[in-house]
Structure 1
Amino acid sequence: MSLYGTMRTGVSGMNAQANRLGTVAENIANSSTVGYKKASVQFSSMILPTTSGAYNSGGVETDVRYSISSQGTFSYTTSSTDLAVNGDGFFIVEGADGVEYLTRAGSFVVQDDGTLKNSAGYTLMGYEYSSTADPTIVVNGFNGLEPINLSSASISATASDAGALNVNLPSNAAVGDTEATSLVAYDSQGNSRLIDFTYTKTADNVWSMTATYAGPPATTVVPATTVTFDAAGQIVSPTSLTTTAFTVAGADMLSMTIDISTSSQLAADFSVEEGEINGNAASEVVGYEIDEAGVVSVVYDNGDLTPRFRVALASVQSPDNLNPVAGNLYTQSNSSGVIVMGYAGTSGFGSIISGALEDSNVDVAEELTAMIESQRNYTANSKVFQTGSELMEVLVNLKR
């Protein structure tokens, strides 16, 4: 048996245990880091060939692995922009260098410029929200992503362009009798404008309807229109009305489509069954909401909720083989598989929890146990090295 080989084996063992202690130290240091995934060391033997009855001691080599696919528990917060992924998927963030990374650290905060950045200074990425269809994504790349930016949402006014006004007109009213009601609409600057609707009975089952803006300036927005009902008191025509667009005090009142399809003429008093017009007055932002599908909405002081962006998620076939990067980030590696893009709750992706953060998946008790094991094993390997060194000294002293 080679004495040098014995010492090299002891050194190999000490190096291996030092690597293990290194991961234990890192894990314990990051036991409170949001979204941190623990590292561990796997050992494998190095066997040298034995010749002529002489045993050549080998050694041990180590491989560091990360438990990236192991989900941590959740801690709930009072911030709606703190996010966690419940299930598979990673947030996509961008650094100051313009490079995209994957992360599970979702402690995002709204910045002065309206962007959402986590505690490491990386910007959350997503797509502009569309009410008609999900934004088209590039499945295997980051093209089309943009920083989620809420700076333009500080104040908002939306002009009215649609509504509904369904009433019951008394069937026993005399020809010439009138009924009236009003709806509030909004112009392009968020000013409220009162629109008056007047109904005049002209014959059995027939009413004349007009709509006016009292002004100034007084404006007829729906000229006299004949509304007819059948023998059962249900409306026949028209089922909707379109108002005329006009300008008032430098602001635009848009043309509005008013649904009247469920209006009726029955033997009851005049009543408004449904009366609403969309749009809103100028309102300031009072908060943000992010739902489990990753839709980022702005909350205004008038109670309106306006979707602005949708958070994108990414995944790979083998998350544990991603490359860890400083800042609790990950990048694609040759072993991880290609990055696949998607949205929360679709195609195998997990859901997003707002007002929560994913804890580190480190078990401190387990790490302390591993520390004791590594310490004892390191000591044992040092004894092997020490014994080999003493035997070598005996061999050298034989010449004396």
Structure 2
Amino acid sequence: MNSSVSGMKAQSNWLGTTSDNIANASTVGYKRADTAFSTLVMPHQPAGGYSSGGVETTIRRSISEAGSVSYTNSPTDIAIVGKGFFVVEDADGTQYLTRAGNFQKDAQGHLLNSGGYRLAGYDYRDGEGPGGDLVTIDLSNAPLIASASTVGTFNVNLPIEAGSVSSIMVDTPPSENGPSTRYTKHLKMTSTGDGGGLGGTTDIYFTKLAENKWEITAFVTYGPGATGFPYDLDGGDVFMASTVLTFDPNTGEVVDGDPRLMPDPADNFYYDFSSLLEEDTANAGAIKLKGNFISDTPQIDRAAGEVPPSANLASSVFARKDTYSGYAGLPSHVAIDMYSTKVGDNTWEVTFFNQADSTAGGFPYGEPGSAPLATRTLVFDPVTGELISGAGAFHVAIPDIGSWSVDLSDMVSKQDYFSTIADGMSISLDLARSSETIQPHLAGSVASQNQVGAKYTSKSALTAYDTAGRAVIVDIYYSKGPDNKWEVSVFDQRDTLTGGFPYGVAGSPPLATTILTFDPTTNRLTGNGVLEVPIAGGETLKLDMSGSTQLAAEFNVSKATFDGSKASNPTGYSISSEGIVSATYDDGQAVALYRIALADVMSPDNMTAVNGTVYLVNRESGEAVMGFPGSGNLGKLYSGAYENSNVDLADEMTNMIESQRVYTANSKVFQTGSEMWDIVNSLKR
């Protein structure tokens, strides 16, 4: 009878867990409870007899088994896909673990699940990511924000048939090769052979276009052709290449743009400007020559009375002469003559003089026999042609003027076309950050000149925002110039008292101005078309006008989109797969507030179940280890979804039927035992 009683009790436990599972089949995050059976055996069995024992049960929970996922329209419903548990707290601050992710914001801004527990995470509002102690997530503290305008797209159509406001362009950059070119710095290099005659001239122009942005343009002229703007690019003897480099405002190093120029497409020779620096003041830089001293060049005949350039005599002979002017921090009128001469087997001499000291452009420089500015002897390996002596940079000092550095470490001496710069030249110099920005513009009384009665073709306006969220309206003027060119000028509308010119003090410059050039065939804008407009009290607005056109239609604005916003409260919240809880705003911004914490234990199924579908860690489960969603072995989060219970109703119904049958069988055993006792008791009577 005791065995049957234990059996009925065990089946009652099984029926109890089955009943709980069925009752919680729709409970979010619920984990199925199971009843495990084990035998009870009496310790002392009589010889030839049997003493029945019974059965005992252990309740187990399938906490580590995930349920299916349901999707909702609420961003605060969260499902964990993978390992891990949400960390939640009750009103007393006690922490629990759960997979029940159906959270909703309460009146205090906390995220509560259906059990009334608050979601916990790490504060993200210090601007440097989550950190500190675990805290209850509080969405009521989402900040009021305002964002400054920094980027925008502003495409317009400029009427092709409009009359020109001005037909003259001035201060154009060297890359346009116009008659009114303006630049910041000019470097000139001329090469000749010992027999005389001009081998070639290279003019390199450095032009400051904007803050930290410079145009570098090189013209290569072969033969005795004239140099200067405009260069004859159609004659076949002059070639041009240009690039725009952007410099880091802190380090002064090149950070954007192609630093190599190759003016002549038929020649692999290049100029490398990757070592340029933008500094507060322009200091002397360095020149690094890379090329070949042809090995079978005849060396000087000392027996015949020939002497090298370092002797500085009228009889000095050389293989090549290169002249450099306008270099580095030296005055533009200073020119340096560099002579290259083979003076022995595999040995070359490179000598430098100040051209101002020359006699009719040659030797002697100053007093005959006087020392040159600098001399370098280079020795090459006869087999490999590599430089083995004379490597490294050295200074060419010009008395009372300054000095500059020359590096010949990359020179070789092989049987090949002779040139001290056959492969390329690395140019390193400092560009003065304080240099005036050179801005091309139309001549005459046009909008960019900001005078009363200034002329223009069309006008529009746009609204940007400063860092406080104040609206800043800027007026944009479009003035048609020559040859498919339009001048765009931008002014702050607050600076005008009349609704037009002048803005502020007459003649003061606009906030920004640029020249838009259109392709005459496609009537589409050439170049990048980005106008940088500084907004008072805000940031620099990079206005992308690259989609603008010049068609036979009226002026119109075809697209106008900008970032930035006025001061506003959040309109919603979002939760990323990595657990970052962000406030979202009207302008599409998202501000990270918290990062949800996940925890895991070594043996989740051994945690202690508590009311509200939450669990407490204990000795059997192991301590909780904290982490972030998606890190380590922890799963990721899905916003707008939650995890269902892991109950299978079909299995539970089967278990219920089986439990009922076994319970009935045990009751029959008990009934039979009771009847047997009745028979035994009746024997006494």
Letter paired with 1:57: S
1:13, distance to aligned residue in structure 2 (A): 0.8
Distance 1:90 1:130, change over 3 A: same
Tell whether 2:643 aligns with 1:395: no
Tell whether 2:79 aligns with 1:84: yes
Deviations 1:172-217 (A, max 9, x none): 98454669997644245422113568999xxxxxx9x997562589
> In structure 1, which of residues 135, 152, 167 is the aligned counterpart of residue 141 of structure 2?
152
Aligned residues of 1:16 and 1:60 also touching (Cα < 8 A)? yes
Letter paired with 1:17: Q
> In structure 1, which of residues 326, 346, 352 is the aligned counterpart of residue 637 of structure 2?
352
The equivalent of 2:315 in structure 1 is none
Distance 1:165 1:60 in 2: 78
The equivalent of 2:494 in structure 1 is 214
Aligned residues of 1:126 and 1:312 also touching (Cα < 8 A)? yes
Distance 1:182 1:66, change over 3 A: same
Structure 2's unaligned 5+ residue stretches are 156-165, 169-441, 448-455, 480-486, 498-502, 516-525, 552-556
1:382, distance to aligned residue in structure 2 (A): 1.6
Tell whether 2:276 aligns with 1:282: no
Aligned residues of 1:116 and 1:124 also touching (Cα < 8 A)? yes
Deviations 1:266-291 (A, max 9, x none): xx99xx9x998764213343332222
Distance 1:184 1:103 in 2: 49
> In structure 1, which of residues 62, 79, 97 is the aligned counterpart of residue 57 of structure 2?
62
Tell whether 2:245 aligns with 1:256: no
Question: Which has the larger share of helix?
Answer: 1
Tell whether 2:554 aligns with 1:305: no
Distance 2:594 2:612 in 1: 25
Deviations 1:113-170 (A, max 9, x none): 222111221111112336965423xxxxxx71222222233x7331428568999xxx
Distance 1:130 1:197, change over 3 A: farther
Distance 1:22 1:216, change over 3 A: farther
Match of 2:597, SS state, is: strand
% identical aligned pairs: 43
Worse overlay, 189-198 or 323-332: 189-198
Distance 2:167 2:147 in 1: 36
Deviations 1:325-346 (A, max 9, x none): 0001111021111111112222
The equivalent of 1:251 in structure 2 is none
The equivalent of 1:135 in structure 2 is 130
Deviations 1:348-385 (A, max 9, x none): 11121121121111111111111111111111112222
CA RMSD of aligned residues (A): 4.3
The equivalent of 2:656 in structure 1 is 371
The equivalent of 1:33 in structure 2 is 27
Tell whether 2:48 aligns with 1:53: yes
The equivalent of 2:95 in structure 1 is 100
Deviations 1:272-321 (A, max 9, x none): 9x998764213343332222222222232333333322221111121111
Aligned residues of 2:74 and 2:640 also touching (Cα < 8 A)? yes
Distance 2:74 2:108 in 1: 18
Match of 1:334, SS state, is: coil
Aligned residues of 2:490 and 2:533 also touching (Cα < 8 A)? no
Deviations 1:53-106 (A, max 9, x none): 332221111110111111111222221211111111111111112111111111
Distance 1:199 1:343, change over 3 A: farther
The equivalent of 1:13 in structure 2 is 7
Distance 1:386 1:163, change over 3 A: same
Tell whether 2:97 aligns with 1:109: no
TM-score by length of 1: 0.75
Match of 1:23, SS state, is: helix
Tell whether 2:471 aligns with 1:192: yes
Distance 1:26 1:125, change over 3 A: same
Distance 1:369 1:69, change over 3 A: same
Distance 2:477 2:496 in 1: 18
Distance 1:195 1:225 in 2: 9
The equivalent of 2:603 in structure 1 is 318
Distance 1:319 1:132 in 2: 35
Letter paired with 2:539: M
The equivalent of 1:382 in structure 2 is 667
Structure 1's unaligned 5+ residue stretches are 1-6, 137-142, 201-206, 246-254
Match of 1:61, SS state, is: strand
